[in-house]
């Protein structure tokens, strides 16, 4: 066992080691290696096992399977942010002749394009990519399994198309684009197309005996954008920091927030655990907290990346076996252990550097009909709207630069908050997505739709 860490309490470190060790032993994995990130850096690294070439150091490569899809999604969002495409564009507009061009780029990212989960036989993860040299070989004669846009159906072939889209728009191989635009700027020097020593060997563990079988490792060729990459806990820890906060050299915080936002309905089987999918990222609820990231699985290797943005904790877990340990559960537990044992300490409150009097005028109580809400002006220049009593619609609003405000989450995400003033300049009401918020419930002369009874509020005599 190897371990290095700083700042975490001894009891927390012990609990992390125990969870990784239990996962390796119960899952019968040659090795399990893990890292925990907090506050933008790795605060713990540990591993258990070290069998079958699975050294547990931070810079030992394991194959990460479908975590590769998150890297591919970042490249696509970069194209969108540069104005080279729109997520609502049909694929045919940018990559004609695939036979799957009616699906939009957003649908491909969210696995709602209706495409088959896998390429036609033989099993693509255990055969050379040369078997499928063209996109037609990946998609087959019947690429669709469901109507486009109707349901979430995980699709490796969809991400093959996204990799081809990146190549078409950049005029370079997918891996070269990834290296130049993501890996090098983020310092992910040990994330590579193929294995670079030191790396773990991939193994199959016999389901009914304590015996190992070496797994084949293939170059996935056209399918690379769906699951080719090799990486380390150290590199994936840095990638987790990026996914949580953004890096303007690669992708900004707003676009990363978009990737983490559910974009696909949960399948019936996933409703109970609350799992769904964003744009290249899995989104699920574990132990009452929202966890985003991605899992990975290819013959010989398992991988998981779990991030709780709210707790500012992320976990990376890698194993060199085809099946066995439930890395998603281990990753979520590592996040939970740190978040619960050492909860995030909030930043000290500080007043805003300056406050616009016209914005400060909006602060205080407002009424939507008879529902009481409070509107706060936050130190970061946002408006925060929420009910004063009980549950209800909450949202923050960002200034749009034209005197209006745009909702950032919940029911009002993307909706407009507009300040309506009287001829004398005083605030008459707030228009929030067409809903009228007034200073008093059903205030006279405040623009309440349908008007207000001129006699006003009254009692009832018996």
- Asked if 301 and 63 count as a contact pair (C-beta separation under 8 A), the reply is yes
User: 3.30.465.10, 3.40.50.720, 3.40.710.10, 3.40.80.10: which CATH number matches 3-341?
Assistant: 3.40.710.10
Q: What is the pLDDT at residue 273? A: 65
Phi, psi (5° rounding) for residue 340? -85, -40
Q: Dump the DSSP string for 102-128.
A: TSBHHHHHHT-S-B-SSPSSS-GGGS-
Q: What is the pLDDT at residue 55? A: 60
Which residues of the chain carry a pLDDT beneath 50?
A: 1-5
Q: What is the pLDDT at residue 364? A: 96
- Could you give the CA distance from residue 290 to residue 281 in angstroms, rounded to a whole number? 12
Q: What is the pLDDT of residues 10-23, one digit of tens each?
A: 999 999 999 999 99
Q: What is the pLDDT at residue 53? A: 53
User: How is the chain split into domains, by residue range?
Assistant: 3-341, 358-437
- Could you check whether the bond before residue 122 is cis, i.e. omega within 30 degrees of 0? yes
The distance in angstroms from the start CA to the end CA of the chain is: 81
| Residues in CB range of 269: below 8 A, 6 or more apart | none
């Amino acid at each position: 066992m190897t371990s290095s860490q700083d700042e975490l309490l001894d009891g927390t470190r012990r609990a992390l080691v125990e969870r990784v060790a239990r996962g390796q032993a119960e899952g019968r994995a040659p090795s399990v290696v893990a890292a925990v990130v907090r506050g933008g850096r790795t605060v713990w690294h540990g591993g258990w096992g070290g069998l079958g070439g699975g050294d547990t150091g931070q810079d030992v490569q394991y194959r990460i399977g479908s975590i590769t899809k998150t890297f591919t999604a970042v490249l696509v969002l970069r194209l969108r942010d540069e104005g080279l495409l729109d997520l609502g564009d049909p694929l045919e507009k940018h990559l004609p002749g695939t036979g799957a061009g009616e699906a939009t780029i957003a649908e491909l990212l969210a696995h709602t394009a209706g495409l088959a989960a896998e390429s036609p036989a033989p099993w693509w993860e255990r055969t050379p990519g040369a078997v499928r040299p063209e996109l037609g070989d990946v998609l087959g004669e019947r690429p669709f399994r469901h109507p486009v846009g109707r349901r979430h159906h995980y699709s490796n072939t969809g991400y093959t198309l996204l990799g081809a889209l990146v190549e078409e728009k950049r005029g370079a191989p997918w891996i070269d684009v990834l290296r130049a635009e993501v890996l090098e700027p983020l310092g992910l020097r040990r994330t590579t197309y193929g294995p670079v020593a030191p790396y773990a060997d991939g193994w199959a563990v016999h389901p009914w005996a304590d015996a190992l079988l070496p797994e084949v490792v293939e170059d996935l060729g056209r399918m690379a954008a769906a699951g080719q990459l090799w990486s380390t806990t150290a590199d994936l820890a840095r990638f987790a920091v990026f996914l949580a906060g953004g890096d303007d050299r690669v992708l900004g915080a707003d676009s990363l927030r978009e990737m983490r936002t559910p974009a696909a309905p949960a399948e019936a089987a996933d409703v109970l655990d609350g799992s769904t999918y964003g744009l290249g990222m899995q989104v699920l609820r574990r132990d009452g907290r929202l966890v985003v990231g991605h899992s990975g699985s290819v013959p010989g290797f398992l991988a998981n990346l779990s991030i709780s943005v709210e707790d500012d904790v992320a976990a990376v877990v890698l194993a060199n076996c085809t099946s066995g340990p439930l890395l998603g559960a281990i990753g979520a537990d590592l996040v939970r252990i740190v978040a619960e044992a050492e909860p995030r300490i909030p930043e000290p409150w500080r007043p805003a550097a300056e406050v616009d009097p016209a914005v400060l005028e909006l602060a205080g109580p407002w009424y939507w009909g008879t529902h009481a809400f409070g509107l706060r002006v936050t130190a970061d220049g946002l408006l925060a709207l929420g009910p004063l009593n009980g549950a209800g619609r909450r949202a923050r609003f960002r200034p749009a630069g034209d005197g209006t405000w745009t909702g950032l989450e919940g029911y009002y995400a993307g909706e407009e908050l507009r300040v309506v003033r009287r001829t004398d300049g005083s605030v008459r009401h707030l228009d929030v997505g067409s809903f009228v918020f007034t200073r008093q419930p059903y205030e006279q002369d405040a623009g309440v739709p349908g008007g207000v009874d001129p006699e006003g509020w009254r009692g009832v005599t018996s």
